[in-house]
Amino acid sequence: MSSTTTAPQRHYLLNASVIVAALGYFVDIYDLVLFSIVRIPSLQALGVTDQAALLEQGVLLLNMQMVGMLLGGVAWGILGDKQGRLSVLFGSIFLYSVANIMNGFVTTIPMYAFLRFVAGVGLAGELGAGITLVSEVLPKEKRGYGTMVVATIGISGAILAGFVGEYFGWRTAYFIGGGLGLLLLFLRIGVFESGMFKNLKESSVTRGNFLSLFSNSGRFWKYIKCILIGVPIWFVVGILITFSPEFGIALGITEPVSAAKAVSFCYLGLTFGDFASGFLSQRFKSRRNIVLAFLLLTSLFIGVYLLADNLSLNAFYTLCVGLGFASGYWAVFVTIAAEQFGTNIRATVTTTVPNFVRGAVVPLTLAFTVLKDSTGLISAAFILAAICLVIAVISILTLEETYSKDLNYLEPV
């Protein structure tokens, strides 16, 4: 499992590393968004019925999952640079699979919260390890297509989660997610470690030094900017879509909005958005310009979503698709993070950056809750959206272009 990559494997876009990373991310996304889909029925089954309590307990459990991802991202990232990309790829799949099976057995809110935390720790590692591996085994002219495949296939896991969560019950949905992850572990045979990491491991250079990201001002701000450009994606998913039933009421939609359907439609848009952004970044040979274009498109759809009035239910779900497509630059965003840093710190960066973005849901939901009580649901969302988008635009404009950058170099620590 840890042998070096062969030359033929490096030059095939759909090699074993790309396929396993894509399928791993598929299950990762399924499990990641599943709570947003089954939040209301699972909490109701545990005795939470009041509308305000459903929102309050939902925020608590979502934050527990995201805190787990925040801490897990650091741990898995360091491990990826010290022990290898594959150890993280399969270790994280095992942990979140077992945790999600256990989620199907919960009987109390504290138990539910603890298991969402454990699942979050496991979910933190797969994407960063997969993107790092794919970026290092493919030639620089093809790696954008490789990460596009990983993200496009992976994001579509949310569509399956929406279907299963809607029609099979919340406990069964958790069992299916955990089972899919355990089945995926059988594919670990035939996946090779990247040659870049093998060469790095044989050297004496310091690997996985997370604190080195804060010891140099230039490196620190580059790292922070990589995080900030992804925050609008999780504002859309973590606020606008997760709490779509509440937004549906505020927007005057007469029929109840299904969180499961809203998530599924949003991720349908994200699937096409990730494909489009990844393809366009290769076609126009620019990561920065494509992310900027998608940020502007995201601001447009957020405005339409929050200003909508008395929409039909189908029109609301169509808006969810549009929001998903507009914020579907996740593949390019994670690729940018991988391309900004040297091999000895790359897994740490590529694993922590998306998880800090996901972890940003914690301050976002807390701020949203406070603002909602003082300004109202819609105004609170507008304020947070404006802050996230302005900061993201400034960040991407001040990052270097990394298309076709040679990644076989070390970061001075």
- Segments making up each domain of the chain, as ranges: 7-187+208-397
The ranges of the chain with pLDDT < 50 are 1-10
pLDDT for residue 349: 93
| Ramachandran category for residue 310: left, alpha or beta (phi over 0 → left; psi -120 to 50 → alpha) | left
Kindly report the CATH class assigned to 7-187+208-397: mainly alpha
Q: What is the dihedral of CA 284, 289, 295, 296, to 10 degrees?
A: -90
Please check whether residue 126 is in contact with residue 60, taking contact to mean a CB–CB distance below 8 angstroms.
no
Where b means 16+ CB within 10 Å and e means fewer, 325-363 reads: bbbbbbbbbbbbbbbbbbbbbbbbbbbbbbbbbbbbbbe
The CA–CA distances, whole Å, from 227 to 211, 224, 381 equal 16, 5, 20
Q: Which residues contact 289 (CB under 8 A, 6 or more apart)?
A: none
pLDDT for residue 188: 67
Angle value at C-alpha 318, between 317 and 323, nearest 5 degrees: 95
pLDDT for residue 106: 92
pLDDT in tens, 389-402: 999 999 999 999 98
pLDDT for residue 2: 39
